[in-house]
């Protein structure tokens, strides 16, 4: 990503010379970095690049960061004087990266940590690979200053929360995203999943849908429990749907495209006209199941996802979804962790962020019977 200050740069101004004894940026086999290349990448003048490389005043913080980012993108080393000393290592434990919302969390958290001088250590879990507990041991061996957990075992109500209590007792600052355990004395950051379920149902009922199904992941996960609760509450309040019928309209499966396909297939056999999904990937599976039955989206079946993962605006059809405020949540988590590390602890509570309905083309008016 290229950043620009938005300020006009006088093209006629000659660049300040880089002193002969100054450490010039370079990369293996490339020699001295060309000012023109860096200026083009950063969207600024060569004069501005020279000022930044010489650590001179008169350059805004945004422009200075744009030049340094350009150096990184082009593979050049930063001059010694411009290299930040790391304030310490911070672990970032995330699930597998197949779901594009998790790389988005990782990208924003890593960037926010780096801006505060910390060096992030990304730990990605895979099925059958290194477990969360094993990653924690590795991070402790590296003497990290803190750990951010995204959708970890703290979201699984069947998991033993004692693993986190032990970290807090060390003491090691931790922040946990999307999951909550009342007995853990640490900051939690969550999207309001109950509100997400309600938003999706109210959108579909406003379009005339009455038989609305819900598919999501296993019920042992707290975010799933909250989505189901929000869905049930909205269906009862808006449509007066009874509990027995609601039980028939809920299908829980594995997260992912295949799980969404299987769960949606079962609901389509029960005559639903719309489906609320626990993730965007499940929604893509639901679309595939719908088309396999010769039905159209949204003319015959409306589908709502969850997350607003990157590229969901470019699917066929573009996906209506409930957006997690990933950027705001990530920044809040980093801020809380840095406060913990600085011995200015954040309140031990759950910071709840409101989701947003993003209407695109996968939902439409209910078909007439």
Contact criterion met (CB below 8 Å) for 345 and 146 = no
Choice between 126 and 366, residue whose per-residue pLDDT is larger: 366
In tens, the pLDDT along 179-230 reads: 999 999 999 999 999 999 999 999 999 999 999 999 999 999 999 999 999 9
Domain range summary for the chain, segments of one domain joined by +: 1-83, 88-191+326-353, 193-323
In tens, the pLDDT along 303-340 reads: 999 999 999 999 999 999 999 999 999 999 999 999 99
Question: Is the pTM for the entire model greater than 0.85?
Answer: no
Q: Cis link prior to 293 (omega < 30° from 0)?
A: no
- Predicted confidence (pLDDT) at residue 20 exceeds the cutoff of 50: no
> Exposed, middle or buried, 190 (CB in 10 Å: 0-12/13-18/19+)?
buried
In tens, the pLDDT along 114-158 reads: 888 899 999 998 878 899 999 999 999 999 999 999 999 999 999
The per-residue pLDDT for 161 is 97
Q: What is the CATH number of domain 88-191+326-353?
A: 3.40.50.2300
Topology alike, domains 88-191+326-353 and 193-323:
yes
The per-residue pLDDT for 130 is 92
CA distance 75 to 262: 45
- Domain 1-83 falls in which CATH fold? 434 Repressor (Amino-terminal Domain) (1.10.260)
Closest Cα to residue 227, out of 252, 201, 193, 200? 193
CATH architecture for the domain at 193-323: 3-Layer(aba) Sandwich (3.40)
């Amino acid at each position: 990503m290229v950043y620009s200050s938005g300020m006009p740069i006088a093209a006629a101004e000659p660049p300040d010379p880089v002193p002969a004894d100054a450490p010039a940026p370079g990369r293996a086999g490339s020699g001295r970095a060309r000012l023109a290349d860096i200026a083009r990448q950063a969207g600024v003048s060569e004069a501005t690049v020279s000022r930044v490389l010489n650590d001179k005043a008169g350059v805004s913080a945004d422009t200075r960061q744009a030049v340094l980012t350009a150096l990184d993108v082009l593979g050049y080393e930063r001059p010694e004087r411009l290299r930040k000393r790391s304030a310490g290592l911070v672990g970032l434990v995330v699930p597998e990266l197949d779901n594009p919302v998790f790389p988005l969390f990782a990208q924003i958290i890593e960037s926010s940590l780096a801006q505060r001088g910390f060096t992030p250590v990304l730990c990605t879990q895979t099925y059958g690979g290194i477990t969360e507990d094993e990653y924690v041991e590795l991070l402790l061996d590296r003497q990290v200053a803190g750990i951010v957990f995204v959708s970890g075992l703290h979201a699984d109500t069947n998991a033993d929360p004692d693993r986190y209590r032990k970290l807090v007792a060390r003491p090691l600052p931790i922040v946990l995203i999307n999951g909550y355990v009342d007995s853990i004395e640490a900051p939690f950051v969550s999207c309001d999943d109950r509100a997400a379920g309600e938003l999706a149902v109210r959108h579909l009922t406003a379009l005339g849908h009455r038989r609305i199904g819900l598919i999501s992941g296993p019920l042992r996960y707290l975010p799933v429990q909250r989505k189901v609760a929000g869905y049930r509450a909205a269906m009862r309040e808006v449509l007066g749907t009874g509990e027995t019928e609601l039980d028939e309209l809920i299908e829980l499966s594995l997260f992912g495209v295949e799980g969404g396909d299987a769960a949606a297939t079962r609901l389509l056999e029960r005559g639903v006209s719309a489906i609320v999904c626990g993730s965007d990937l499940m929604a893509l599976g639901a679309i595939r199941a719908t088309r396999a039955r010769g039905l159209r989206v949204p003319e015959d079946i409306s589908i709502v996802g969850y997350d607003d993962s990157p590229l969901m605006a470019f699917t066929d059809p573009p996906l209506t979804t409930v957006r997690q405020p990933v950027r705001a949540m990530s920044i809040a988590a980093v801020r809380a962790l840095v406060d913990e590390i600085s011995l200015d602890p954040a309140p031990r509570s759950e910071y709840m962020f409101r989701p947003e309905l993003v209407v695109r083309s996968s939902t439409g008016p209910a078909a007439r019977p």
